[in-house]
């Protein structure tokens, strides 16, 4: 589904990704771990198409509906329309923009791009309330402004709600577990697991092993200094937890 070949990228003239190679197939869960500053967030932003980051060289090809797309040629909203979803590490607050409006517009834009009928308010309301159950989110959050006054855990939960509503092919969860307590972690992980399908794929970016106890990865990659230096299965994550990053980086 996703084929990253020798990707080099920088921000403000500083090179962060120094040749990333990664292959993700439908039904797979990949975990990307690494010390701070290794380029994990950069990778996620580049895949989502954030304009502040520059791709210096390399390619990213994305297969959806049996068609191969050059992901780097697509604009951010086009990538989202084609099923790429990024759950932000620090979700932004949007005062005055209600969660409901935001989700509905987003959902309908994707419908439009796929030639599917859009949903009106009533229909979407029914639809979204069902999805809210997946992340155990209370109804009152639906009409509040996006993320405003939400606790860290509630913001992350809101990201997963969006994931549930938009039904992406490739989800990239950027440090979704950071700042979460045990209960929030459990709810979010359960939500993600419910959304896992054989036709979609998930990239989990995380610093800690803990999340991977809940969401089992098929592959674990260690990112350091802008490159993937080791790939293994879930046991690699356990080794990292025991020995720390220094062990693998040195």
Partner 1 sequence: MKTEEFLEQIKSYIPADQLGSFLSQSEALPMPNRKLESWKYFPTKFLNFEKQEQSTTLDLAKELNRLKAPGMDVLVTRNGQVQTDLSTDKVKLKELSASDFQLESMETKLDVLSVYSEGQKLELVMQDSKALQIIHFIDSDKSFFNFKLNVDEAVELEIYENFVAVDKVQAHFVSEIELKKEAKLKYYSQSELSSSAQVYTHSSIGLSEAALYKSVVSDTDPGKFRRKTKVNLNGERAHADMKAFYLLNEAAIVNHKIDVNHNVPNATSEQLYKGILDGESKAIFDGMVYVAKQAMGTDSQQLNKSMLFADSAEVITRPQLEIYADDVACAHGATLGGFNRDEVFYFQSRAIPEEVALRMLAVGYAEEIFQEVENKEIHKDFLDQFLDRFSQYKVDIHEL
Of 78, 72, 82, 68, residue with least CA distance to 46: 72
Interface map 43-82 toward partner 1 (x if CB under 8 A): -----xxxxx----------------------xxx-xxx-
Inter-residue contact 24 to 1 (CB < 8 Å): yes
Told to check if 115 binds partner 1 by CB under 8 A, we report no
Question: 73-92 b/e with 16+ CB inside 10 Å = b?
Answer: ebeeeebbbbbbbbbbbebe
Told to check if 154 binds partner 1 by CB under 8 A, we report no
Among 71, 86, 220, 236, binds partner 1 (CB under 8 A): 86
Q: Provide the Cα torsion 40, 45, 47, 52; round to 10°.
A: -130
CB count in 10 Å sphere of residue 60:
20
**Distance of alpha carbon 229 from alpha carbon 65, whole angstroms:** 32
* Region of 65-73, 109-117, 181-189, 222-230 interacting with partner 1 (CB under 8 A): 109-117
Interface map 163-202 toward partner 1 (x if CB under 8 A): ---x------------------------------------
The CA–CA distances, whole Å, from 130 to 113, 136, 137, 146, 217 equal 23, 10, 10, 19, 27
Told to check if 105 binds partner 1 by CB under 8 A, we report yes
Q: Which CB atom, from 159 or from 177, has the smaller least distance to partner 1?
A: 159
- Residue 121 phi, psi (nearest 5): -55, -50
Tokens of 250: 């040195």
Q: By 3-state DSSP, what share of the chain in percent is helix, strand and coil, each rounded to 5?
A: 40, 30, 30
Told to check if 162 binds partner 1 by CB under 8 A, we report yes
Tokens of 190: 């359960």
* Region of 65-73, 88-96, 208-216, 231-239 interacting with partner 1 (CB under 8 A): 88-96
Among 34, 71, 85, 169, binds partner 1 (CB under 8 A): 85
Q: Which CB atom, from 39 or from 91, has the smaller least distance to partner 1?
A: 91
Interface map 8-47 toward partner 1 (x if CB under 8 A): ----------------------------------------
Q: Which CB atom, from 88 or from 219, has the smaller least distance to partner 1?
A: 88
Q: How many residues does the chain have?
A: 250
Shortest gap between Cβ of 187 and partner 1 (angstroms)? 21
Told to check if 92 binds partner 1 by CB under 8 A, we report yes
**Distance of alpha carbon 81 from alpha carbon 114, whole angstroms:** 8
Residues binding partner 1 (CB under 8 A):
48-52, 75-77, 79-81, 85-86, 88, 91-92, 94-98, 101-102, 105-106, 109-110, 113, 145, 162, 166
């Amino acid at each position: 589904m996703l084929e990253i070949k020798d990707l080099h990228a920088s921000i403000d003239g500083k090179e962060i990704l120094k040749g990333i190679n990664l292959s993700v197939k439908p039904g797979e869960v990949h975990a990307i771990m690494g010390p701070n500053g290794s380029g994990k967030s950069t990778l996620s932003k580049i895949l989502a198409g954030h304009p502040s980051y520059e791709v210096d060289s390399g390619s990213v090809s994305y297969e959806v509906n049996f068609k191969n797309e050059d992901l780097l040629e697509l604009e951010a909203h086009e990538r989202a329309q084609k099923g790429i979803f990024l759950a932000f590490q620090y979700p932004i607050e949007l005062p005055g923009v209600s969660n409901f409006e935001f989700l509905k517009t987003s959902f309908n834009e994707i419908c439009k791009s796929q030639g599917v009928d859009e949903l009106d308010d009533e229909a979407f309301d029914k639809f979204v309330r069902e999805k809210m159950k997946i992340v155990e989110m209370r109804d009152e959050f639906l009409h509040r402004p996006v993320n405003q006054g939400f606790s860290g855990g509630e913001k992350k939960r809101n990201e997963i709600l969006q994931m549930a509503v938009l039904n992406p092919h490739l989800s990239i969860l950027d440090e979704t577990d950071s700042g979460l307590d045990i209960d929030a972690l459990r709810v979010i992980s359960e939500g993600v697991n419910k959304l896992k399908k054989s036709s979609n794929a998930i990239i989990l970016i995380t610093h800690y092993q803990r999340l991977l106890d809940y969401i089992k990865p098929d592959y674990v990659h260690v990112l350091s200094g802008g490159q993937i230096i080791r790939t293994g299965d879930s046991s690699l994550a356990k080794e990292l937890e025991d020995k720390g990053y220094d062990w693998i980086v040195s």
